[in-house]
Structure 1
Amino acid sequence: MKQFLVIFITLISLQTYAQDRVNGGKFATRSEVISQNGMVATSHPLATQIGIDILKQGGNAIDAAIAANAALGLMEPTGSGIGGDLFAIIWSAKDQKLYGLNASGRSPEKLTLQYFKDKKMTKIPSFGPLPVSVPGCVDGWFEMHGKFGTLDMEQILKPAIDYANNGFPVTELIGYYLTGTSRRFKEYPNFADTYMPNGNSLNKGSVFKNPYLANTYDKIGKGGRDAFYKGEVAKTIANFIQEQGGFLSVKDLANHTSEWVEPISSNYRGYDVWELPPNGQGTAALQILNIMEGYNVKEMGFGSAEYIHHFTEAKKLAFEDRAKYYADPAFNKLPVEQLISKEYANERRKLINPNRAARSYDAGELEQGNTIYMTVADKFGNMVSLIQSNYRGMGSGMVPPKLGFMLQDRGELFSLEEGHLNVIEPKKRPFHTIIPAFITKNGKPWVSFGLMGGAMQPQGHAQIVINLIDFEMNLQEAGDAPRMQHNGSSEPTGGKMTDGGQLVLESGIDYQTIRALMSKGHKVGFELGSYGGYQAIMWDEINKVYFGASESRKDGQASGY
C-alpha cells in the first residue's frame, strides 16, 4: 500500500504547469483580462456577459452584480440560487469606503434543540426539510440595490428571465455536477419536474429552460422583495416545507432581514485584507495571515515543504478557534478583535513546531462577551465582492412546486451540543462558510476576490493573499497556482481533531516536497474538485485600468470593456 501511495503521489506531482507560456508566470493558464471601463468575473461565461451588458446599459457594479447573480442561480443551480444566502463587500467610490452585507437567513422560530433531543438525533440531517433556513439572497439583492443601485430591478432581472424562458446550453463542469445531483435527488418532490426535462439529467451541451424560475424572477422584478418573502411565493415555500415535515413558516419568511455590517481587517505586510465578521468564517483567513506574517514566507518559497507545513499548522490553529468562537453575534458576545489581533497571533505562533505536524491543538482561551463567487467593477470606481450559495452544492433537495429553485441546507451547520455558541436556537443564523474578500492599499481599493469550497475558503483566501504579496504572482497566476487544503479540524457543529487531519495537495507540488511533508508527520492525499473557484479584479491606480482573472478549475470567465 505504501509503495502504491508513493507511485500515485509521484504521478500526480509530475504535472507541474498548466501549460507552457511565454510570460504571465509558470502556473498561469491564460493572461489577465485588462480593461478601462468595467470588469466582471463570474463562474459562468454567460453570466459574465450579462454583467457586462448591464454595465454598458449604464448600470453600475451593484446592478451588474445582481444581474449576474440572478443568471448564476439559473445557469449554475449546483452552487447557487435564490433558495440560498448571500454575503457581499462593496467599495463605494462616492464614499471611498467599504460596506459589508450579511444576507444570511435564520432558523425557523419553532425549531428548537429539544426537537432533536426528543428524536435522539446527534446531528442535523444534510438533506430534507430540517436543515432548511430562511433564504436570504433576494433580500440581499434589494438591500444592495436600495443603497447603491441605479437601474430598476425589472431591467436588472430581464436577461436572466429571457435565458430562463428561451434556454441556454449547460457548461461542462456544471453538467458534471447536475448529473450527480440528479442521481441523488431525482426521487425528491418536484426535483425532476424542474431539473430533469423529459426525465433525463442535464449534461454538457443540453439546452435547459426553467420557466418556473422565469416566472418567480418576473414576480420579484415587478413586486420587489415582498413578492418573495410575503404572498404566494412565501406561502408555497412554507406550505411545501411543512408538508415535508419541516418548520419553515410564512412568518419566518416575512420577518427576515439582512444586516449591514462593518468589515473586519488585518494588515498583511502593508496591505489591508478585509473580511466580514461572524456568523461567517472570514476571521479565520485573517488569523492565518497574522500567524504567517511572523515568518519569511518569500524566502521559504512557493510550494516548499517549509511553507506548506507552517501554513497548515497556522490553519489548524485558526480553525480550532473557528470551531469554538464563530457563531451568530446576535446571540453571543464574540471575541473577534482579540482573535484578529497581532498579539494573539504571536502567542499562537509559538505553538507551531517547525519540524512536526500537530495531531491536535486547543482553541485559544479568550474573554467572551459548493457556492458561487463573483466580482464586478465599474467605470465609476465601484467594486463588488459577492458570494452566494445553497450549501452542499445544490442544497437540501427541497424544491418548492413550480418556483424553479432549490432551498438551502445551511441549518445543517448548527451544533446540537448544548452550551455551544453555535447551538441551534429559534431565529438564529447558523455558522456560515461563504465569505467574500477585499484588499486595500493606503486606503484605496486594490483587489476584490474570493473563491468557493466550504472550509477551503479561508485557507484559499490566505493563499491568494500570500501568492500576490509574498510570491509576487500576477492576478491570474495567483488563482491558478496549486493549492493546498487541510481537512479534519474541529468543526463548529461539534467534534475534535485528534489525529492531525489530512493535508490534500493539488498537482504541481513535487515529490521531494511531499516526502518532506510526510516525514514531518503530515498525512498527504490528493482529491479532485475540492479547491473552489477563484475570481478576482484588481485596480491599477497608476494606469487607471482593471485586471480580471477567472481560474481554469471552473467554467468561468473574466471580461471587461
Structure 2
Amino acid sequence: MRELSLPGRSAVYAGEAMAATSHPLATSTALHILRRGGTAMDAAIAASAVLAVVESPETGIGGDCFALYAPEGQMPPIAFNGSGRAPLAAEIGWYEERAIGKIADDSAHAVTIPGAVDAWWRLHGRFGRLDFAELLQPAIRYAENGYVVHERVAAEWQVAAARLENDSSARSLFLACGRAPEPGTVMRNGALARSLDLIARKGRKGFYEGELAQAMVAHLQSRGGLHTMEDFARTAGEFVEPISIDRGANRIFQMPPNTQGVVALMILRLLDACGAGDLDFLSPEHTHLAIEAAKISYGYRDRLLGDSERSGAILDLLDDKDAIARLAAGILPRRMNPDLPKVAGGSANTVYLAVVDRDRNVASFINSIYHSFGSGICAPGTGILLQNRGVSFRIDRDHPNAIGPGRRPMHTIIPGMVGRDGRAVLSFGVMGGDYQPMGHAHVLTAVQDHGYDLQAACDAPRYLPVSGRVEVERGMDPRTCETLSSWGHELVPAADPLGGAQMISINWDSGTLAAGSDPRKDGCALGY
C-alpha cells in the first residue's frame, strides 16, 4: 500500500469491468461501450478511435495496430498483427540506384500502408458485439464538435510542430493558429470526422478503397512515393502465434516479430539469469543489471530483428538457455562492460490501452503512427496523418530488416499479457518507442519480483541506455545515480518522460480487477 501522506494516486479497483488508457476521453469512451454491453474488444476499438482524434501527435487511423486478446481470460492469448507493409514497388534496388542510404522520417518512402483500420475491422468481426459503426461515433463527435487539448498532448504538439510545416494540409489542420495549441485549447478536425464517418458506413473498404485511398495514394505519389491503389486494397493483417517465456508460475506473452516483443523477453531472461529478483528494485545493483541486460538485448535486436520470415535467429537465441547464460556472464558485477553494444535509440510516440469486460474478456491493444505526427504527411481533405514506420527499414540486402516489396518493418510497439494456470492475470503495455522492451521488463519486475502494486509500478522512475549513455528520469535516487556513475555508467537527465504504462490485473479468486495508469500521460484507469 502506498504512503498516503505523499503525492501520488492509488491503484483503481473494480468488480465488473475496467479500462486504462492514456487520455480521459478514451477511458470514458471505453466505459461507455462496456456499459452498453460491448466486449473488451469493442471498448478497445472505440477508445483507440477516440485517441486517433484527441492524441493526434501519438496515433491515428493512418497508423498500425497490434493486439493480444484473451476470450473469457483463457490463455494463451490470441495475437493479431495489424502492421502495414511497404509498397509492392519498394524494391531495394530502386533505393540503391538513387543513392538513398537511409529513409528520411518525413518522406513518402517512410509511409508504410496503414494497418490500423483493417485490424479494427477484422478484430471486431471476430470479437465484437456492438455494431462497428457505433464504436466510431464518439471519435466522430470529438473530431466534428471539438475536444480540449490536454497537457501531455500539448507538450508533444509543441515539440513536434516543425514536422507539420512540410505539408500544407497538415499545417492547416494541426497548426491552424500558426502554432501548436496550448493546454485547454479546443481543437477540431472536420475532415477526419468525415473520414471516420465513411469508415463507419462502409467498414474497411471505406479506408482501403474508394475516395480516401485515392486521396492518400495521389498525395503520396505527388511526394515521390511508390504507393498504389493495389497496395491499399490488398492490406490485410493476420492472426499469429504469440511468443512467451515462463517466470515462476507466470507466463509472459508478447507479439512475435516483426515486433520487438522478443527483446522484452530477452531482457527478462537475462535479469533472471543474473539473479536480479533477489536485489532491491531501483537499487544500484538491480539498475546496473537492467542497463547491461538491455544493451545486450537491444544489440541483438538491431542485428537480427526484422520481418517475421527473417527473424528466426533472434527467436532461437531467446530459447537457447546456454546462450542466455553466456550472455549473462558478460554482465559484470558493479562495473560497466565497455564491450557491450551501444543502443541506438530514438524518440517515438504511441498509445497503449488495456480493457477487461464483465465476461473477463481481456484486451491488450496498441496503436501508433510512430514519430510524433508520423511522417507529417496528410492527404488533403482526409484529416489523416500517415505514419512513418518505414523509417525503420534498412537499405541493406543482408539485413533481416531490409526494405522490400510488401515487407513489414521492425516495429517498436508491443502489447503484453501475463497468464497463470491457463488464465490471464495481467494486461499491460508501456508506450515510448525504443523504451518499450525496457519498460515492459521494468514494470513486470516491479510487480512480480518486488510486490509493487500496479500504480506504483507505473509511477516508479525509469532509465534507458542510449548511444553509450544512460538517460535517467529525475525521480531516480541521487545516491543510486552516484553509485552507477562510479561503476562506469555515463548518466544524463532524460529529456522527455520515458514511456507511458497502462496495466489491469485480474484476481480470479476474489473476482476483482485492479489498474494503474501512467502519470507521464494525461490518462487514467476507471472501472465499475
TM interval, shorter chain, is: over 0.9
Distance 1:466 1:94 in 2: 22
Structure 2 residue 126 is matched with structure 1 residue 159: no
Structure 2 residue 470 is matched with structure 1 residue 503: yes
CA positional deviation for 1:87: 0.6
Aligned ranges 1:187-266 → 2 under 5 Å: 187-266=166-245
Confirm or deny: 8 A CA contact 1:287 1:340 kept in the other structure.
Answer: no
Structure 2 residue 358 is matched with structure 1 residue 379: yes
Amino acid corresponding to residue 34 of structure 2 in structure 1: L
Confirm or deny: 8 A CA contact 2:300 2:314 kept in the other structure.
Answer: no
The equivalent of 2:522 in structure 1 is: 555
Amino acid corresponding to residue 263 of structure 1 in structure 2: P
Distance 1:450 1:144 in 2: 19
Structure 2 residue 37 is matched with structure 1 residue 58: yes
SS at match of 1:157: helix
SS at match of 1:81: coil
Distance 1:85 1:322 in 2: 20
**Per-residue deviation, residues 433-470 of structure 1 (Å, max 9, x unmatched):** 00000111222111101011111000000011110011
2:264 pairs with one of 280, 285, 291: 285
1:514 pairs with one of 456, 461, 481: 481
Amino acid corresponding to residue 370 of structure 2 in structure 1: Y
The equivalent of 2:501 in structure 1 is: 534
Confirm or deny: 8 A CA contact 2:412 2:434 kept in the other structure.
Answer: yes
The equivalent of 1:317 in structure 2 is: 296
Structure 2 residue 335 is matched with structure 1 residue 356: yes
The alpha-carbon distance between structure 1 residues 513 and 23, as it changes in their structure 2 partners (threshold 3 A), is closer
CA positional deviation for 1:182: 2.6
Amino acid corresponding to residue 9 of structure 2 in structure 1: R
**Per-residue deviation, residues 336-374 of structure 1 (Å, max 9, x unmatched):** 1442443332221112211321223379xxxxxx11111
Distance 1:311 1:332 in 2: 24
The equivalent of 2:92 in structure 1 is: 113
CA positional deviation for 1:330: 3.1
Confirm or deny: 8 A CA contact 2:305 2:311 kept in the other structure.
Answer: no
1:463 pairs with one of 393, 417, 442: 442
Distance 1:125 1:504 in 2: 25
CA positional deviation for 1:552: 0.8
The equivalent of 2:345 in structure 1 is: none
CA positional deviation for 1:94: 7.4
Task: Point out where structure 1 has 5 or more consecutive residues left out of the alignment.
Answer: 1-21, 364-369, 489-500
The equivalent of 2:402 in structure 1 is: 423
Task: Point out where structure 2 has 5 or more consecutive residues left out of the alignment.
Answer: 343-348
Confirm or deny: 8 A CA contact 2:163 2:373 kept in the other structure.
Answer: no
Amino acid corresponding to residue 226 of structure 2 in structure 1: F
Structure 2 residue 76 is matched with structure 1 residue 103: no
Amino acid corresponding to residue 476 of structure 2 in structure 1: I
**Per-residue deviation, residues 385-412 of structure 1 (Å, max 9, x unmatched):** 0111111121001101111121000000
**Per-residue deviation, residues 49-78 of structure 1 (Å, max 9, x unmatched):** 001000011111000000000000000011
CA positional deviation for 1:28: 7.8
Aligned ranges 1:438-457 → 2 under 5 Å: 438-457=417-436
1:147 pairs with one of 126, 151, 167: 126
When the two structures are superposed, what TM-score results if normalisation uses the length of structure 2? 0.95
Confirm or deny: 8 A CA contact 1:78 1:177 kept in the other structure.
Answer: yes
The alpha-carbon distance between structure 1 residues 166 and 450, as it changes in their structure 2 partners (threshold 3 A), is same
The alpha-carbon distance between structure 1 residues 417 and 191, as it changes in their structure 2 partners (threshold 3 A), is same
CA positional deviation for 1:165: 1.2
**Per-residue deviation, residues 120-144 of structure 1 (Å, max 9, x unmatched):** 2221101121111000000110111
SS at match of 1:93: helix
SS at match of 2:377: coil
Confirm or deny: 8 A CA contact 1:85 1:103 kept in the other structure.
Answer: yes
CA positional deviation for 1:418: 2.5
Aligned ranges 1:395-406 → 2 under 5 Å: 395-406=374-385
SS at match of 1:215: helix
Mean CA deviation greater in 466-475 or 289-298: 289-298
CA positional deviation for 1:186: 2.6
Amino acid corresponding to residue 271 of structure 1 in structure 2: N
Amino acid corresponding to residue 477 of structure 2 in structure 1: D
Distance 1:27 1:275 in 2: 35
When the two structures are superposed, what TM-score results if normalisation uses the length of structure 1? 0.90
Amino acid corresponding to residue 299 of structure 2 in structure 1: E
Amino acid corresponding to residue 188 of structure 1 in structure 2: D
CA positional deviation for 1:331: 4.8
SS at match of 1:330: helix
Structure 2 residue 5 is matched with structure 1 residue 38: no
The equivalent of 2:113 in structure 1 is: 134
Distance 1:475 1:362 in 2: 32
Q: Percent identity?
A: 35
Confirm or deny: 8 A CA contact 1:505 1:526 kept in the other structure.
Answer: yes
Distance 2:395 2:497 in 1: 27
Mean CA deviation greater in 23-32 or 44-53: 23-32
Distance 1:399 1:406 in 2: 5
SS at match of 1:314: helix
CA positional deviation for 1:242: 0.1
Distance 2:440 2:411 in 1: 15
The equivalent of 1:433 in structure 2 is: 412
Amino acid corresponding to residue 209 of structure 1 in structure 2: R
The equivalent of 2:511 in structure 1 is: 544
Confirm or deny: 8 A CA contact 1:27 1:477 kept in the other structure.
Answer: no
Distance 1:191 1:213 in 2: 12
Distance 1:234 1:334 in 2: 37
Distance 1:362 1:167 in 2: 47
Confirm or deny: 8 A CA contact 1:28 1:477 kept in the other structure.
Answer: no
Distance 2:412 2:299 in 1: 15
The equivalent of 1:73 in structure 2 is: 52
Q: CA RMSD in A?
A: 1.8
The equivalent of 2:287 in structure 1 is: 308
Mean CA deviation greater in 304-313 or 112-121: 112-121
The alpha-carbon distance between structure 1 residues 114 and 358, as it changes in their structure 2 partners (threshold 3 A), is same
Confirm or deny: 8 A CA contact 1:24 1:477 kept in the other structure.
Answer: no
The equivalent of 1:169 in structure 2 is: 148
Distance 1:226 1:330 in 2: 28
CA positional deviation for 1:516: 1.8
The alpha-carbon distance between structure 1 residues 179 and 465, as it changes in their structure 2 partners (threshold 3 A), is same
**Per-residue deviation, residues 501-524 of structure 1 (Å, max 9, x unmatched):** 111111232233222211221111
Distance 2:185 2:469 in 1: 37
Distance 2:184 2:327 in 1: 50
Distance 1:297 1:24 in 2: 25
Distance 1:468 1:345 in 2: 23
Amino acid corresponding to residue 152 of structure 1 in structure 2: D
Q: How many residues align?
A: 522
The alpha-carbon distance between structure 1 residues 372 and 318, as it changes in their structure 2 partners (threshold 3 A), is same
Structure 2 residue 468 is matched with structure 1 residue 523: no
2:251 pairs with one of 269, 272, 275: 272
The alpha-carbon distance between structure 1 residues 26 and 357, as it changes in their structure 2 partners (threshold 3 A), is farther
